[in-house]
Structure 1
Amino acid sequence: MKELSIYQIDAFTDRVFGGNPAAVVPLDSWLDDQLMQRIAMENNLSETAFFVPTPERDDTDFHIRWFTPGAEVPLCGHATLASAWVIFNRLDWSADTIRLTCKSGLLSVTRQADGWLELDFPALTTESVPAPALLRESLAGVPETILHVPADTNYLVELADEAAVRAAEPDLRGLKALGNQGVIITAAGNNSDFVSRYFAPGVGIDEDPVTGSIHSVLTPYWVARLGRSELLAHQVSTRGGVLKCQLRDGRVGIAGQAAFYMEGRIAL
């Protein structure tokens, strides 16, 4: 029998049962893709992160991959934050920065003086597209023209205000029929610069509690709208999360906290 360590961390929160829970599985070498997908399905969390050391490379420390219960994804913020917490606090990483490589390129996570962990992610652009009829039928308030994120297979929809974002009750079966297209809804915030929620039932996530990766597109979007480079964001799901976002040189800094929930062993 083979055993693997597994951790569950609540990301973008300072307390257990808040933020977004992620499973983290450190590896010495890669498992079969199908096995990693089955582990993610068994965990039944929005993401399970796997990473391996990369001592053969000078530009990175770990290679990281993320799986939802239904598919591998190219970029995930909260499970990267959770992985960094494990590396810093359980693998005794002494440096203040962790360098990661993934399908979306090079990333890093830096431990800040106040204990927050800051992700360094690419800034993602959008393009205007006609809103699919299925999306307009499944979610109230969607305008005829919305934004598409070609690098991350998401739609971005700005609603009238924070109340509309909080009150949204999309038809998840309709959104699931969009396939792997996730839907970000956002608005200016009452007690933050902007708020958001995220739905991706096509890849097994009805609603993600807090999604770091969508702030790679939300940050440049709201920086352009508000004219400031540093923004406070709230993802207003039931569990909720807080993120400090900064746009700089085509990259996005996304800072958050993390809370340890549990660790255990996977028996294979």
Structure 2
Amino acid sequence: RYSLTGLIHAPRLRPRFATNFFSTDQFFEDAEHGELPRYSFIEPQIIGWDHNDMHPPFWSAAPGLVWDPPSSVLGGEELLARIYDAVRSASSLHGSNHLNTTLLVTFDEHGGTYDHVPPGTAPAPTAGAPAGQFGFRFDRLGVRIPTIAVSAWVPPRTVVNEEHWATSVIATLREKWRLGPPLTARDAAARTFTDVFTLDSPRTPEDWPEPVARPVPPLHESLVPLDAPLGSHARAVFAGALALGTELEVPAPPVDLSTATGAQALDAVHGLLDDLFPRLKG
């Protein structure tokens, strides 16, 4: 229930944890009442048990409790279906609704799907920057990743063939809200998503597709033995979280990870994360 994006960028985002990080339940409530902010970034549960990020879990045959036990990618489909339904059914006469809300679904990876098209060239984010590993200068694109735009202003069964980049998200936000100059040469050259909204009159929600998410299989408790000692991967993850708390001067309950059980380590880290993300407690 905590934000991995927030933790990764904690030195920069720490002042926003108490004011801008909310639960997904808050998103659904705001969508129903027409109170969505002008921009929302929805992050699936990426860390911990029963995660719903469509990412295959880490698994190890090593003894001890693992951080990321087997779970189903169907959890991601179920989450996406609920978000889609919330946008489609948003009918408030004031504020946000299905007519003025766009749901943009994008991914950070291609899910292991083979891509037969060689990546094209692209400007390096920073001209003249030194080369990285193996002489790579970040002057080409990566494999193609899926992206879906859900809006009342997009024609049905639309397939967009124009090339967009991951930085098209940044370019679109900059254009929409006049956020200033480009962050790098990459988003300066990226095509925005503006040209996909081509209808003269909006589609009614009854005309939108109606996906049905498949049931998410439950995670059996035998796969999460919280009374077991920590495995090597779990120890590393918990140690990283506690070290971050120390860096941010957020106290955590003392725990010896070399002897702690899964339950003891979780109690310590949950106490730390509850302090960091006061609106995500639960």
Sort the TM-score into its range (normalised by shorter chain): under 0.3
Q: TM-score, normalised by structure 1?
A: 0.23
More strand by share: 1
Q: TM-score, normalised by structure 2?
A: 0.23
Bigger-Rg structure (1/2): 2
